Amino acid sequence: MKGLSVTALAAVVVLASTAGIAQIFRSWSIADAQRAAGQQLFHDHCMICHSPPAGAPAFGPPLAGVIGRTAGTYPGFPYSEALKKSGIVWTEDNLRKWIADNAKLVPGTRMAHVSLSDPAEQIYVVSYLETLAKPQAPAH
């Protein structure tokens, strides 16, 4: 009987542990991990020039709401003529190309940066950029 109760206790511990682990992983997603990795990459590579929120002082234009924006159109930023005339809309695909090699995508651009050549890192940064809400228009 003593062996049975130890076995039963072990089974309860295993089941409880499995349920606990399942609960932890239920609240975790690959998309969340990609966004977190993208936020870190943004902090490490992009934030030196770009601020995520609009209105924060930065060398480059803010990237809040960049997805869907036409390149070279953020008000008040002195873009190169090449970027302003490119007609590019910042889709996920175009952002990945820009992150990989902006001078190849838009010859004559002024932006100099260290390219992220790893496609996974490009996806992570774009996933993070998708979380940055478009800036609100000032209240009148």
User: What is the tens place of the pLDDT at every residue in 29-79?
Assistant: 899 999 999 999 999 999 988 887 766 778 889 899 999 999 999 998 999
| Type of residue numbered 75 | P
Kindly state the average pLDDT of the residues 81-100: 96
Q: Is the dihedral of CA 134, 67, 120, 31 positive or negative?
A: positive
Position 126 scores a pLDDT of 96
Residue 93 belongs to some domain of the structure = yes
Domain count, the chain: 1
* Domain assignment present for 8: no
Residue 24 maps to a domain: no
Q: Residue 59: its pLDDT value, please?
A: 87
- Residue 78 falls within a domain, yes or no? yes
* Mean per-residue pLDDT over the chain, rounded: 82
Q: How confident is residue 102, by pLDDT bands cut at 50, 70 and 90?
A: very high
DSSP category for residue 44: I
Q: Per residue in 13-39, pLDDT tens?
A: 555 555 555 555 566 789 999 999 999
| pLDDT for position 114 | 74
Could you tell me if residue 18 is inside a domain?
A: no
Residue 59 lies in a domain: yes
- Does residue 139 surpass a pLDDT of 80? no
- To the nearest 10 degrees (0 to 180), the angle between helices 119-129 and 92-105 is 120
Specify the pTM. Answer: 0.74
- Per DSSP, 59 falls in state S
Would you state the structure tokens that stand for residue 1, as one six-digit string?
Answer: 């009987």
Q: Is 100 part of any domain?
A: yes
* Predicted pLDDT at 54: 67
Q: Which two tokens stand for residue 91?
A: 């889709």
- CB-based contacts of 90, cutoff 8 Å, min separation 6: 66, 67, 68, 69, 70, 71, 98
Residue type, 104: K
**pLDDT at residue 25, as a whole number:** 57
The domain in which residue 71 lies consists of 30-129
pLDDT at 69: 95
CATH number at residue 58: 1.10.760.10
Is 138 inside a domain boundary? no
